[in-house]
Structure 1
Amino acid sequence: MRLRAITGFFFVIVMLGSVLLGNVVFTLFYLALSVFCLHEFNGLVKQGTADPNLYTGLLNGIFVFLAFAAQSYFPSKFLLFLLPVLLGSIFIQELYKKSEHPFNNIAYCFLGLLFTITPFTFFHGMAFISGSFNFHIPLSFLLMLWANDTGAYVVGSQLGRVKLFPRHSPKKTWEGFIGGILITAGVAVILSRYYTEYDWKQWVSVGILISTFGTMGDLIESMFKRSINVKDSGGILPGHGGLLDRFDGLLLAAPIVYAYLYFITNA
């Protein structure tokens, strides 16, 4: 428990620093984080039946993130036009491998990009959604994501009775899920008093989206781990597991929240 608490403390400090130290640090940090998550994903897949090419996947992951992140600094479609060419290398590379299931490898390679790189590109895009870098949005996202995890754990451990999805996550309960939503909504109201980019109703809507789809992301990551029969996605965070274990809530919630904020910002 002590090791978990120490790791959690430094994890929070690093995450806050990644948002508060400016746009360049923000971009480079989440580029590195998304690539490490992809590397962790590929390592897990290799324990199963697929053998996606590690280096092809990582190079494409770096380029996908940078191609979209670059739009926040100097809008240009040039890098985006290169994406089909580089992504095609995933197919071409399999021609030179001796594999009984080449399209299984291709599918998992693309799934890795979709599951790990894409969510972080949307999270990165939140900071620039108004046209210039604004740390309020990603910081608020992280605070509400943590509030949901904490609220769901506290309420679920004290009042939880009805299982939410026992097939994939036997400890999660409906009581915890509802508790997480309510606590996240409360944090959203507090944030609306200091970050006035959106009114309190919009912040609460963001909080509900984070709670709902963050929980689904957690369940999906649990389903993935159970499908390959592993408990933790890795051991890089002592007492907490792997990076995918820590960011499972972001993986599904970030694209949904970005879409919501994009439409209300540009309405």
Structure 2
Amino acid sequence: MKLRAITGFFFIIVMIASNLLGSYVFSGFYLLLSAFCLFEFYKLVREGGMTASRETGIINGALFFLLVAANFYFPAWRLIFLLPLTFSAIFIQELYKKTPAPFTNIAFTFLGIIFAVVPFMFFHAMAFMTGAVFNFHIPLAFLIILWSNDTGAYLVGSKMGKTKLFERHSPKKTYEGLIGGIIISAVAALILGHFYTELTWKQWVTIAILISCFGTLGDLVESMFKRSINVKDSGGILPGHGGLLDRFDGLLMAAPIVYAYLYFISN
């Protein structure tokens, strides 16, 4: 428990610092983070008896993130047309491998990019929602609301949780915990709305509800994936907490949904 608390404390410090130290640190940090999450995904795939083109997938995932993120600093959309060329390397590589299921390898390689890299691209884009100028308010608020949801769901679920949410995939999750997470995250959103005035309090609360619902869904999806290959944690990089995918499972599905909401209300 002590090790878990220490790891959690430093994890939060690093995450907050990544938002406060400027746009270049922010972009570089989440580029590396998405690459490590993709590495974990491919590692889990191999533990499940399947294969993926790990090195080629990580290179393509990092390049995908980099080319999209570069557009927030200078016009780089034309460079994105390099991606079909680099993505084709995933298919070409299988031609030279003697594997019984080459398209399964290709499918898991692309699934890793979609599952572990694309959500961080949407999260990164939140920092530039107010224009070309970097603004850490929205991504930092997203993290605070996500942590508030996790805390609320755990506290309420452990004390009052009786009705199972998806017992087959996550036995400890309950509807009571889900509701508790929504309430606590909404309170956090209301507080943040007093300091971060880019959005109205109603919009912040809406974001909190989206994060709670889709963050929980992302947690369940990652649990489903781990149970399908009989592993407890996605990795051991965070002592007492498991792997990076374990810590960011809530972000994986919530970030694209929240970005879509922000995009439509800002346009």
TM-score (norm 2): 0.99
Quote the Cα distance in structure 2 between the aligned partners of 1:75 and 1:174: 46
Q: Identify the residue that residue 97 of structure 2 maps to in structure 1.
A: 97
CA deviation map 1:171-219 (0-9, x unaligned) = 0000000000011011111111110001000000000000000000000
Q: Identify the residue that residue 76 of structure 1 maps to in structure 2.
A: 76
Quote the Cα distance in structure 1 between the aligned partners of 2:79 and 2:117: 16
Shift of 1:76: 2.6
Shift of 1:50: 1.9
* Local SS of the residue matching 1:192: helix
* Local SS of the residue matching 1:72: coil
1:39 and 2:11 equivalent?
A: no
CA deviation map 1:54-75 (0-9, x unaligned) = 1101110110101110111113
1:162-201 to 2 correspondences below 5 Å: 162-201=163-202
Q: State the one-letter code of the partner of 1:80.
A: I
Quote the Cα distance in structure 1 between the aligned partners of 2:139 and 2:199: 14
Unaligned runs of 5+ in 1: none
RMSD: 0.7
1:3 and 2:3 equivalent?
A: yes
Quote the Cα distance in structure 2 between the aligned partners of 1:161 and 1:201: 30
Q: State the one-letter code of the partner of 1:263.
A: F
Q: Identify the residue that residue 248 of structure 1 maps to in structure 2.
A: 249
Q: State the one-letter code of the partner of 1:21.
A: L
Quote the Cα distance in structure 2 between the aligned partners of 1:48 and 1:172: 24
Q: State the one-letter code of the partner of 1:111.
A: L
Q: Give yes or no for contact 2:163–2:176 (8 Å, CA) kept in 1.
A: yes
Q: State the one-letter code of the partner of 1:51.
A: T
Q: Identify the residue that residue 158 of structure 2 maps to in structure 1.
A: 157
Shift of 1:27: 0.3
Q: Identify the residue that residue 212 of structure 1 maps to in structure 2.
A: 213
Shift of 1:77: 1.6
Quote the Cα distance in structure 1 between the aligned partners of 2:85 and 2:155: 48
Q: Identify the residue that residue 21 of structure 1 maps to in structure 2.
A: 21
Quote the Cα distance in structure 2 between the aligned partners of 1:262 and 1:89: 33
Runs (4+) off by over 2 Å: none
Quote the Cα distance in structure 2 between the aligned partners of 1:176 and 1:55: 39
Q: State the one-letter code of the partner of 2:38.
A: L
Q: Give yes or no for contact 2:67–2:76 (8 Å, CA) kept in 1.
A: no
Q: Identify the residue that residue 85 of structure 1 maps to in structure 2.
A: 85
Q: Identify the residue that residue 61 of structure 2 maps to in structure 1.
A: 61
Q: Identify the residue that residue 128 of structure 2 maps to in structure 1.
A: 128
Unaligned runs of 5+ in 2: none
Shift of 1:135: 0.3
Quote the Cα distance in structure 1 between the aligned partners of 2:23 and 2:77: 21
